[in-house]
């Protein structure tokens, strides 16, 4: 079967690429994932390739990423050529393989483990906007140096903020790279009409959001209605004190499919001086069983006191799911009595007063925070919602009249 490539992606398939680095950007529906997965499968037909496919976090590669590759294999009728496991795809004809790994693990950043993988010729950083630490990027990048092979570093991302090191490095300082940018308009012949209608509706309602989400524009370091980057950088620390009282805050998605909202899951602690610490963000698109298992493991790993979840959004469901994995659980369901902005405002005030700290960096959560505008954005800020529940729970005496318990 012949597959017609979108013209900009033909540079990716060149046998002798001009540059080591490929920066692949675009909005939703721009066919980034389609072409990258197709290219990587094609590359495995050359002997000697070890392709490291990473994301900042990768909880379930076989659920979130593998289907993209399996679709291409079936489309090409090449099922017999590949051996597929949950973490690898091996080309039976050449022995070349694609390895799927997360950069951040529950034990910390797995840079050393990734660098130790032998013979890597191609590094793919998917959802590259999530990696905000340039030192981590450099350490992995410099380990891609297989002699006698073409080495590639492929960055795939939805454009983020112009303060991101990738923008500064490849678009401002112009480090040599092949930049491929597409939007849904380049791929419109392959898109469902309902997707196109949604894009056009967004264009009418919120042009800035349309340009960012669908056209793939980079954003200025915009301030949201409440938080901004300077504030978040000011509250960042490297290590939390010991003997914290901890809770797990959960904002469950109502549905579990590709178009669902994320389930917000954050770990938050409080010290004896009433200072709050954001310890971990485990949010993501999960089935109920997946997030239930993740939350219960986090409860044990962090020695949390109890779970906090919103009663409005399926409180009974939350209890039932948690009980499958944690029989000794204690769940506190909170009733939202005000809108999202009014709920978040007192929590923001605690940030402003220097009472909340982020232990490390939380790129996806922090992006939601600085763009938080519930009136303009229809999509639920799941991570922020979970954060607000958790901080409010631990700050009951300081944050007044947000929830009825």
Mean of all residue pLDDT scores within the chain:
87
Fold for the domain defined by 229-404: Nucleotidyltransferase; domain 5 (3.30.420)
E runs forming strands in 218-284: 236-237, 245-251, 264-270, 276-281
From CA 221, how far away is CA 243, in angstroms rounded?
Answer: 36
Give how far the C-alpha of residue 218 lies from the chain's centroid of Cα atoms, to the nearest Å. 17
Mean pLDDT of 385-392: 93
- CATH 3.40.50.300 residue ranges for the chain: 16-203
Q: How confident is the model at residue 396 (pLDDT cuts 50, 70, 90)?
A: confident
From CA 97, how far away is CA 82, in angstroms rounded?
Answer: 9
Please say whether the beta carbons of 274 and 307 come within 8 A: no
Tell how many helices (H) and how many strands (E) occur in the chain: 14, 18
Q: Is 143 helix (H, G, I), strand (E, B) or coil?
A: coil
Q: How confident is the model at residue 98 (pLDDT cuts 50, 70, 90)?
A: very high
Per-residue pLDDT tens over the stretch 251-282: 988 665 555 678 999 999 999 999 999 999 99
Mean pLDDT of 301-325: 84
Please say whether the beta carbons of 244 and 222 come within 8 A: no
Q: How confident is the model at residue 403 (pLDDT cuts 50, 70, 90)?
A: very low
Q: Parallel, antiparallel, or unpaired: how do β-strands 152-157 and 21-26 relate?
A: parallel
CB-based burial of residue 255 (10 Å sphere; 0-12 exposed, 13-18 middle, 19+ buried)?
exposed
Amino acid 338: pLDDT: 64
- CA dist 290 to 265, 323, 392, Å? 12, 13, 26
From CA 151, how far away is CA 49, in angstroms rounded?
Answer: 9
Mean pLDDT of 319-348: 82
- CATH 3.30.420.280 residue ranges for the chain: 229-404
pLDDT above 90 (res 333): no
From CA 94, how far away is CA 238, in angstroms rounded?
Answer: 45
Per-residue pLDDT tens over the stretch 297-306: 999 999 999 9
Please say whether the beta carbons of 29 and 184 come within 8 A: yes
Backbone angles phi, psi at 60, to 5 degrees: -140, 80
The pair of structure tokens assigned to 35 is: 């072409």
From CA 288, how far away is CA 290, in angstroms rounded?
Answer: 5
Amino acid 67: pLDDT: 84
pLDDT above 90 (res 329): no
pLDDT above 80 (res 26): yes
Per-residue pLDDT tens over the stretch 175-226: 999 999 999 999 999 999 999 998 998 888 778 778 888 999 998 755 456 7
Closest C-alpha to 136, from 99, 179, 165? 165
From CA 191, how far away is CA 233, in angstroms rounded?
Answer: 39
From CA 68, how far away is CA 16, in angstroms rounded?
Answer: 26
Amino acid 399: pLDDT: 47
pLDDT above 60 (res 402): no
Higher pLDDT, 119 or 317: 119
Q: Is 175 helix (H, G, I), strand (E, B) or coil?
A: coil
Q: Looking at the domain that runs over 16-203, which CATH code has it been given? A: 3.40.50.300
Contact residues for 205 (Cβ-Cβ < 8 A; gap 6+): none
Amino acid 64: pLDDT: 66
Q: How confident is the model at residue 400 (pLDDT cuts 50, 70, 90)?
A: very low
Higher pLDDT, 348 or 41: 41
Mean pLDDT of 36-51: 97
Q: How confident is the model at residue 398 (pLDDT cuts 50, 70, 90)?
A: low
From CA 22, how far away is CA 43, in angstroms rounded?
Answer: 15
pLDDT above 90 (res 318): no
From CA 170, how far away is CA 176, in angstroms rounded?
Answer: 7
From CA 71, how far away is CA 190, in angstroms rounded?
Answer: 15
């Amino acid at each position: 079967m012949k597959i017609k490539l979108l013209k900009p992606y033909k540079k990716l398939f060149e046998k002798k690429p001009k540059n080591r680095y490929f920066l692949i950007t675009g909005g939703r529906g721009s066919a980034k994932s389609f072409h990258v997965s197709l290219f990587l499968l094609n590359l495995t037909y050359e002997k000697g390739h070890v392709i490291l496919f990473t994301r900042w976090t990768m909880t379930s590669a076989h659920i979130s990423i593998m289907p993209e590759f399996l679709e291409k294999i079936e489309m090409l009728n090449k099922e017999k050529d590949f051996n597929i496991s949950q973490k690898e795809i091996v080309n039976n004809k050449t022995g070349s393989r694609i390895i799927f790994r997360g950069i951040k693990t529950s034990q910390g950043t797995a840079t050393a483990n990734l660098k130790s993988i032998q013979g890597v010729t191609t590094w793919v950083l998917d959802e590259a906007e999530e990696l905000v630490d340039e030192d981590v990027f450099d350490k992995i990048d410099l380990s891609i140096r297989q002699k006698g092979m073409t080495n590639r570093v492929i960055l795939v991302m939805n454009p983020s903020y112009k303060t991101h090191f990738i923008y500064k490095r490849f678009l401002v300082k112009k480090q040599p790279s092949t930049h491929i940018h597409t939007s849904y308009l380049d791929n419109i012949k392959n898109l469902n009409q309902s997707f196109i209608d949604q894009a056009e509706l967004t264009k009418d309602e919120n042009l800035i959001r349309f340009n960012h989400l669908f056209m793939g524009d980079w954003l200025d370091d915009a301030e949201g209605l409440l938080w901004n980057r300077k504030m978040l950088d000011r509250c960042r620390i490297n290590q939390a004190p010991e003997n914290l009282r901890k809770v797990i805050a959960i904002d469950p998605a109502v549905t579990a499919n590709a178009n669902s909202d994320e389930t917000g899951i954050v770990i938050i602690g409080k010290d004896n001086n009433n200072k709050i610490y954001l310890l971990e963000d485990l949010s993501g698109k999960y089935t109920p069983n997946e997030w239930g298992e993740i939350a219960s493991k986090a409860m044990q790993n962090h020695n949390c006191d109890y779970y906090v979840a919103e009663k409005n959004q399926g409180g009974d469901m939350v209890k039932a799911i948690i009980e499958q994995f944690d029989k000794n659980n204690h769940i506190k369901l909170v009733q939202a009595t005000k809108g999202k902005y009014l709920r978040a405002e007192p929590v923001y005030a605690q940030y402003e007063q220097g009472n909340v700290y982020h232990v490390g960096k939380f790129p996806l959560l922090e992006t939601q925070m600085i763009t938080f505008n519930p009136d303009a954005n229809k999509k639920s800020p799941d991570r922020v919602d979970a954060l607000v529940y958790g901080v409010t729970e631990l700050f009951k005496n300081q944050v007044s009249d947000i929830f009825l318990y």
